[in-house]
Amino acid sequence: MQFCTLVLVSALLPFLSTGYTSIVEHVDNLPTQEFDFVVIGSGTAGNVITNHLTENPAVNVLVLEAGGFDLNTKVPGFFGRDMGSPLDWNFTANLGLATENRMGTVVRGFVLGGSSAISSMVYTRRSDDDWDHYADLTGDSGWSWDSIQQYIKKNETFTQPSDFHNISGQFDPTVHGFDGISSVTLTSYVHKFDDLVIQSSLLPDAEIPFKLNPNDGNNIGLSWGQAMILNGERSSSATSYLALQFRKRSNLHILLHAHVTRILRMEDDHETAFSGVEFTQDAGATFQVINATKEIIVSGGAIGSLNILYNSSIGDAETLTNLGILSTLDLPSVGQNYTDQGIVDYIWIVNSTDPNDFLSQDESVREGQLEQWEQNKTGPLADGALVTGCFFRLPDNASIFETVKDPSAGPNSGIRNLRVPHAGTQRVHAGDAGDAGDAGTHYPLLIM
């Protein structure tokens, strides 16, 4: 299809010329079968861990990624097509009582960068109420809003949008970091509808007033959206924590298409010591083993890590027995306390005949938008899902509160139920190593 080919041809040139010497696609291309550290999963967390481990030149690190490397993930405006595509694990789950136990999709990235490579790139820190709730829940003040800010800012570098428009009055620079690795920016393509939305929030009697920065701890209000984008390209954990300057480290090695099935105990059968990582590159036809001399880091995601642990006989003994797996390390907490956020799309019909008003279904318009992005990284494809956004609360006297308790963490939080009183559970179903299918996740009551 021409629409996709245009991206691949132009993007492959810098890909080949800069050299990805640390990334290989077959186990035979690795320099050794033994590493100090083996990181399972190159997702949002795994790449951060890898980056920090390889700061020490005295150790060598291998990253095992089940997916591949896809250049189309660099285009922010393509995010919607990545979900449910071959770049997604395509898990399904029981969505819980609020949906009458319907099955639904659970998006998880099957590509270098994990879910950060296929997400909508929306950047939100949530509210100070939420972080303070985490601190109370864990009994650790280090998770409080005030304590966590130094780390959030250390990770972030706020950058100019790709169209270099004047962003004064669109964000508060005192809230952000400017020396980190992950890029955060404002939208570069403002549609006339977005201008109208912002103008409505500036009216004296605005129902949802304008909020200069939604990430200062108080979410309530309508703001310009912030996104994980750098110079018109997606900023994922792969493009940031595995950027070229880090991939040049001689102690870093990345193996793609390596679907980890389990971790293996040391030869002395020590109950809690593991040294081997078993994986397949051909959907279970053959299996390979890589050894770690220091540590194995299981960072396969909320669902993937569970599958690996269960297949390694680690988890709740009763659950493993029901799956036909011999339990050798009984850890009842494995697979418990799973929480997630549901999403519902609202669609409006507007009176517009201008094909440039949207990411058009007209192929010629789409190709023009793609050409603009390729030339200068601007236009509709330079932005993710959110140009403007708002968090709001119902009035304290809303009738729903007569029967339902306010689920938010406090007055600075919009009612988007990220914290639930009863977390869900996960169960895997026995199957082939290459199966994705049903994640066996059971959600708590999430949708309100």
- Helix-strand-coil split of the chain, %, nearest 5: 30, 20, 50
Measured CA distances, 224 to 78, 125, 138, 360 (Å): 21, 15, 33, 23
Backbone angles phi, psi at 85, to 5 degrees: -95, 180
> Which of the 8 DSSP states describes residue 220?
B
State what percent of residues in the chain have pLDDT above 70. 85
Residue-wise DSSP of 75-91: -GGGHHHHTTSTTB--E
> What does the pLDDT read at residue 18?
41
Determine the Cα–Cα distance for residues 95 and 393; give it in Å rounded to an integer.
25
- What is the set of domains in the chain, with CATH numbers? 2-73+239-340+425-442 (3.50.50.60), 123-226+386-416 (3.30.560.10)
pLDDT, mean of residues 291-312: 94
Is 260 annotated to bind ligand? yes
Higher pLDDT, 415 or 65: 65
Which amino acid is located at 368 in the chain?
G
| 16 contacts: CB under 8 Å, gap ≥ 6 | none
pLDDT in tens, 390-433: 888 888 888 988 898 887 888 888 765 544 444 555 655 544 44
Backbone angles phi, psi at 223, to 5 degrees: -135, 165
Q: By three-state DSSP, how is residue 197 classified?
A: helix
Residue 361 pLDDT grade (very low, low, confident, very high; cuts 50, 70, 90): low
pTM (two decimals): 0.86
Q: Please check whether residue 367 is in contact with residue 63, taking contact to mean a CB–CB distance below 8 angstroms.
A: no
Determine the Cα–Cα distance for residues 320 and 42; give it in Å rounded to an integer.
27
The strand pairing partners of 255, in sequence order, are 24, 64
Determine the Cα–Cα distance for residues 69 and 71; give it in Å rounded to an integer.
7
pLDDT in tens, 129-166: 999 999 999 999 999 999 999 999 999 999 999 999 99
> What does the pLDDT read at residue 12?
40
Q: By three-state DSSP, how is residue 73 classified?
A: helix
Q: What is the mean pLDDT of the chain?
A: 85
> What does the pLDDT read at residue 283?
93
> What does the pLDDT read at residue 359?
60
> What does the pLDDT read at residue 133?
92
pLDDT in tens, 201-246: 999 999 999 999 999 999 899 999 999 999 999 999 999 999 999 9
Q: Return the closest-CA partner of residue 225 out of 384, 411, 417.
A: 384
pLDDT, mean of residues 86-98: 86
The strand pairing partners of 226, in sequence order, are 186
Question: Which element (helix H / strand E) includes 389?
Answer: strand 388-391
Question: Which element (helix H / strand E) includes 106?
Answer: strand 103-106
The strand pairing partners of 61, in sequence order, are 37, 252
Number of H helices, E strands in the chain: 11, 20
Terminal Cα-to-Cα distance of the chain (whole angstroms): 41
